[in-house]
Amino acid sequence: MDYSALQKWGPELAQWSAEYHRDLRSRPVRAQTAPGEIAAKIPGTPPENAEEFATLFSDFETLIMPGITHWQHPRFFAYFPANSSPPSVLAEWLTATLAAQCMLWQTSPAATELETTMLDWLRQMISLPEGFSGVIQDSASTATLAAILVAREKALSWTGNTKGLAGQPAVRIYCSDQVHSSIDKACWIAGVGQDNLVKLPSHGPLKSLDANALERAIAEDKAAGHLPAGLIVCIGATGTGASDDINAAMDVAEAHGLYVHVDAAWAGSAMICPEFRHFMAGAERADSFVFNPHKWLFTNFDCTAHFIRDPEAMVRTLGIRPSYLETQGRDGIINYSEWSVPLGRRFRALKLWFVIRSYGVAGMQAMIRNHVRWAEEIADKLRRAPDFEIVTEPMLSLFSFRYSPKGAGDLDALNARLVNAINDDGRIYVTQTQADGKYVIRFQVGQTQTTKEDVELAFEVITELAQAL
């Protein structure tokens, strides 16, 4: 196949893509396949000879599509959104066409300079102060890993990378018991170790980190000869949207010189609306802040916005310059590979540029405000419906509920059956979590094409299937 084939297949795929999105509501949201079903239909050995693209495309439709869970479905209410949009798709086509490696400034100056500018647009959109510099990471998980590595190196006076961790005091990282599993994994990979990730109790309606417990834990650690290094605070944690009182945590962190990273992977996008920014009060005092435009800002995966106050500390931790990566005689340039764990980097700023310009900030705010309002509306309807209870109140567009008819016995098992019934039905998709030791059903609104009617239909589906259990 040579590139001229794009002239034939590009329009065909564009047609297919537009029709896919037009008709998406008629497909079940979650794939309805059994494990192994798709693999069994794919040959176990690669083809010896070339095949026609027409055959590949037809196989894509018949073999692959039945096994796809439709994340862009307007009635996807599971997990968190990983939304996208037409300008994002179009930018990805161009990005794939160029297939540039954007690791150094000189390996694509436009990519680096657009990245710097787009991240500054995002910084302004969420109202982080000037003085934060941005970088696009491939995921919040790697942004958090990078932040924990900087925290570790600062605490170890930059000796971790050279000497390793053996014989060093234990590097301690603090967070609440609500944080995402990516924090644990980052501590594993950074050599901090699970036992040195100190998970503190959370309290109050938002399940915020207990700052007094943080203060006590740091004092105990210092007495034990450990090295308090970093604090992770969260805005909108994954389970039920727990959010920390960042100012209270910062008071303690600053007094002890901790490196502070804010994980707002999902909720960060909503910070483009001024009325929701109270959740991030205090974040301007942190060292590092991450959120995912690839979750709730209409920009398809992967696109993580990572803001840092002191890029020098990041470069000191992650910058490595073998002779083949040196850039000769250039001052004032950024080599973004020195700000992140992987060396290779895709041109991801292009989709942000297209998306932000296509909708405008006002257009994006309007979509997010709708999501939050519709989530509140369905939560209210479920609250009033017989036999349902709201377990965690809406935090932005996320809440959790459960079906609790009187005398039903094991409510955890009943709600697990309800989740399965809903997802087997296919009209909507929801997932579960634990809240206060209970099995609860999570519900979030955040898809680009979701309408008020889609959310209303969700209420009908949930109540209808619950009664039929």
Interface residues toward ligand PLP, by CB under 6 A:
80, 139-141, 180, 182, 234, 237-238, 263, 265-266, 292, 304
How many angstroms separate the CA atoms of 134 and 119, rounded?
A: 5
- Residue number with CB closer to ligand PLP (105 or 429): 429
- Residue number with CB closer to ligand PLP (237 or 375): 237
- Residue number with CB closer to ligand PLP (142 or 423): 142
Q: Look-up: residue for tokens 């095949």?
A: 51
- Residue number with CB closer to ligand PLP (125 or 234): 234
- Residue number with CB closer to ligand PLP (84 or 107): 84
- Residue number with CB closer to ligand PLP (266 or 307): 266
From the CB of 105, what's the least distance to ligand PLP, in Å? 25
Which tokens is 139 given?
A: 């995921």
- Residue number with CB closer to ligand PLP (150 or 265): 265
How many angstroms separate the CA atoms of 78 and 70, rounded?
A: 11
How many angstroms separate the CA atoms of 468 and 196, rounded?
A: 48
From the CB of 150, what's the least distance to ligand PLP, in Å? 17
- Residue number with CB closer to ligand PLP (107 or 144): 144
- Residue number with CB closer to ligand PLP (84 or 238): 238
